[in-house]
A and B are shown apart, each in its own frame.
Chain A
Amino acid sequence: MLYIHHSTCLSPQLTYPAVDLENLQPPVDNKLKAIEPAYEGIPPGMLRRMGTAIRLGVGAALNLLKASGNTSGIIIGTAKGGMEDCISFLNQIVQYEEGILAPGSFVQSTTNAIAGTLGLMSRNKGYNITHTHRGLAFENAVLDAMLQLHDHPDHTYLLGGVDEISSFNYNLERLSCSYKTGTVNSDNFYALPTPGSIAGEAAAMFLVNNKQEGSQYSIDGVTTLHSDDDTVVKEWIENFLSKHNAKPGLLLSGENGDQRHLHFYENVESLLPAGTSVARFKHLCGEFPTATAFAVWFAGTILQSQHIPAHAIKKQGDNAGYKSILIYNNFKGIQHSLMLISE
């Protein structure tokens, strides 16, 4: 269990500095690209080197680090970190036939560059780690935060998830049939009976610790699974619900329009009581490995405002309010996660 005290999200929606999720920002050219602020807190000397993922991650985390003053460590989940820098260095290798190369983009291309840059900028010498397990990178970061807080109960950690759309991983994903071929807009996002979703990017950062007092909401539990078997997945969900005695008022589903994996999401819905509300988030942020970081942030806004934007509601249940939210997601129908969020 851990308590979230502050959070910031940079995403394709209006989530920073003010939050306005009613004003839905649709995909453009089948991509949901993050809206980037002016990054006034990042010195130009550092900003010039940063690729999108690092800018988003650092930009979202900076004001949290300033607010905290005593962060004990930095725990980041990112599947593809600085991939655009990676391709930039790769281009040099080819263009100059492994000759004299400029190293800047190589240094920035490592997936731990986000956590490393945050440590550097805040002079934070504490625990610093980057989890990169693809569709579970953020969940594993959440679990790591719980492990650290267990061993260091008086610490506060910066926890976050971020991934970018880079031309390189976009093309790899496109060739692997991860993306829809027809035009996707906010209206048909979940309805097109075809495989694939659309690319997105976002950074969601949280200040977390063991103190309930003053917190905004909590992550009560997290669990992950690798499977493509409906029966195994169902049993795993039932075990989690039973272990936490969970009766969530809302299921926040990672349904992403990819018809190949819809059955997993329908199964979860069927396992919950009929009156449970169901909402979806990927039309807001797009599909990417650490999208559940955005989901946790979104769940937090729902718990605090007790309101779900109409465009996100799949099924309105009969609850009076939302005290807890179950987030279920899967990445490519293989990596599954559940997180229970409570007020």
Chain B
Amino acid sequence: MGIITAIGDSVAGNRLALKEGRSGINTSMDLFPSRYAGMLPFGIVHHATAALKEKLQVTAPGVTRTSLLALHAFEEAVRNSNLSLTDIAATGTAFIGASTVGGMCLTDELYGDAREADNGSAYLESYDSASIQLFIQQRYGMKGFINTINTACSSSANAIMNGAQLINQGRAKRAIVGGVDSLAKFTVNGFHALHILSHDLCTPFDINRKGLNLGEGAAFIVLEKEEDLNGKKVYAELTGYANSNDAFHPSSLSEQGDGPFLSMQGALQMSGLQTTDIDFINAHGTGTENNDEVESRAMLRLFGTAPAFASTKANVGHTLGAAGAVEAVYSILNIAGQELYPQLNFTAPIPATGLTPVKEYGKKAIRHVMSNSFGFGGNCSSLVFSKA
């Protein structure tokens, strides 16, 4: 696995921060050009773009911050999985990424290039979500299946699913899957216009929640079949996944939450588990009025008594296209460490549903974890990870 977020540059770094209940969201950083930087809370990765470029030894022009964050996490994942350069480039290695922002983190350059008459910037071909995967494909000479998915906030959960299905159906030997997003003036303004950004630190599942904090980051996991492991360390097994649509509204969930309910139910059914087998849910939990109540209701509808749950978006913010993968890594860490991390910023439950998330760090026997990601366009995805 590989990950970079506002709370750490590595799997170990992220795990330590989660364990210690640390958040990387604050208002003091202003690493991107927007009037809201330094004003609203964001989960920014604490490295300037130029520094990332240097650290990763990227000299090519036109490489965006989004691509750099992705490369950082990708490198950790392949190193951590002992994949040689030959393995990475092999035709049997699939690479599926996801991003909602792509290179539009360079909002000003995009605006300029859209109207420029004669000379485009170096980023002309770097604005779409595919540019990240194409950059990494070229850097490693990858000859296998390459894909990019954009289903808003559930993008990288779907990327993980895509990779798993390819392996399960014998179309790939291994899959490097995940996603990335970096903070962009474009997205910040979009969410602000919808009145779903909180001016304070977000409080998922809390009675007084006022909205989400945007974050940035990247995470990739390497999926392989059991018979190909050759004694490699296994963090967890992906045992269930499902994708459904709420089909209610372009940017909010229905009251009864059919989309979230169906994706959770589908993932559970595929895993062959009972509701009582799920020891923890890494919830989508953005901190918006709409999501948290609907997700709570859907959890109660499916589970009766909701399992232990929490949202790590209070630690790193809502990382949009990266969220599914970031939270998959955190779910896997719950299993690998047999531990649960505390929900930050929680004071009192939502009255209509009365659910209280995990409030303290603790060691626990964890067999199965579910991770939820729900996005614009009604796109809902759920993954189930199990102790191997």
Interface set of A (CB-CB < 8 Å, partner B): 73-74, 79-81, 86-87, 89-94, 97-98, 100-103, 106-113, 115-117, 119-120, 122-134, 136-137, 140, 143-144, 147, 150-151, 167-168, 171-172, 175-176, 224-227, 232, 334
Contact = CB atoms under 8 A, between A and B. Distances in A.
A132 B98 CA distance: 9
B246 to A, nearest CB: 7
A125 B259 contact: yes
Contacts of A81: 150
6 closest Cβ pairs, A-B complex: A116-B377, A175-B120, A106-B190, A103-B193, A134-B130, A128-B245
Interface stretch (B20-28, B63-71, B73-81, B108-116): B108-116
Contacts of A150: 165, 169
Contacts of B377: 110, 112-113, 115-117, 119, 128, 130
Given A90-B111, A131-B149, A132-B149, A112 B36 contact: no
B243 interface: yes
Contacts of B378: 116, 119-120, 128
Contacts of A172: 113-114, 120, 124-125, 127
A112 B150 contact: yes
A116 B116 CA distance: 32
Contacts of A151: 165, 169
Contacts of B350: none
A197 B129 CA distance: 23
A85 B247 CA distance: 21
B207 interface: no
Contacts of A224: 145-146
Q: Is the interface of B mostly helix, strand, loop or mixed?
A: mixed
Contacts of B194: 103, 106-107
B107 A90 contact: yes
Interface stretch (B232-240, B248-256, B288-296): B248-256
A59 B155 CA distance: 25
Nearest to B127: A172
B303 interface: no
Contacts of B6: none
B290 to A, nearest CB: 14
Interface string B280-299: 00000000000000000000
21 contacts: A79-B130, A93-B186, A103-B194, A103-B251, A107-B194, A112-B150, A113-B376, A119-B378, A120-B250, A124-B247, A128-B151, A128-B245, A129-B379, A134-B148, A136-B147, A167-B114, A171-B113, A172-B120, A176-B120, A225-B143, A232-B143
A132 B120 contact: no
Nearest to B142: A226
Interface residues of B, number: 65
B129 A125 contact: no
B158 A129 contact: yes
Nearest to B131: A134
A115 B154 CA distance: 14
Contacts of B128: 79-80, 132, 134
Interface centre among B100, B129, B247 (most CB of A within 10 A): B247
A322 B250 CA distance: 44
B245 A119 contact: yes
Nearest to A141: B147
Given A107-B251, A112-B151, A112-B377, A90 B186 contact: yes
Interface centre among A89, A113, A116, A140 (most CB of B within 10 A): A116
B134 A226 contact: yes
Contacts of B116: 171, 175
Contacts of A109: 190
A126 B245 contact: yes
Interface of B: 34-36, 100, 104, 107, 110-111, 113-116, 118-120, 124-125, 127-130, 133-134, 137-138, 142-143, 145-152, 158, 162, 165-166, 169, 171, 185-186, 189-190, 192-194, 243-251, 258-259, 262, 375-379
Contacts of B169: 147, 150-151
A93 B185 contact: yes
Contacts of A225: 143
Nearest to A89: B190
B250 A133 contact: no
Nearest to A147: B165
A254 B110 CA distance: 29
A132 B124 contact: no
Given A128-B245, A130-B150, A93 B379 contact: no
A91 B189 CA distance: 12
Contacts of B249: 120
Contacts of B146: 133, 136, 224, 226
A101 B247 contact: no
Contacts of A176: 120, 124-125
A134 B97 CA distance: 13
A100 to B, nearest CB: 8
Contacts of A133: 130, 133, 146-148
A112 B376 contact: yes
A126 B116 CA distance: 42
Contact of B114 (A90, A107, A112, A334): A90
Given A112-B152, A127-B245, A150-B165, 17 more contacts: A89-B186, A93-B185, A93-B186, A98-B36, A98-B185, A110-B152, A112-B150, A116-B378, A128-B378, A129-B243, A130-B151, A133-B146, A133-B147, A151-B165, A168-B114, A175-B120, A226-B146
Given A97-B35, A175-B120, A226 B137 contact: yes
Contacts of A93: 107, 111, 185-186, 189
B190 A103 contact: yes
Contacts of B120: 172, 175-176
Nearest to B158: A129
A11 B252 CA distance: 32
Contacts of A112: 150-152, 375-377, 379
A68 B158 CA distance: 25
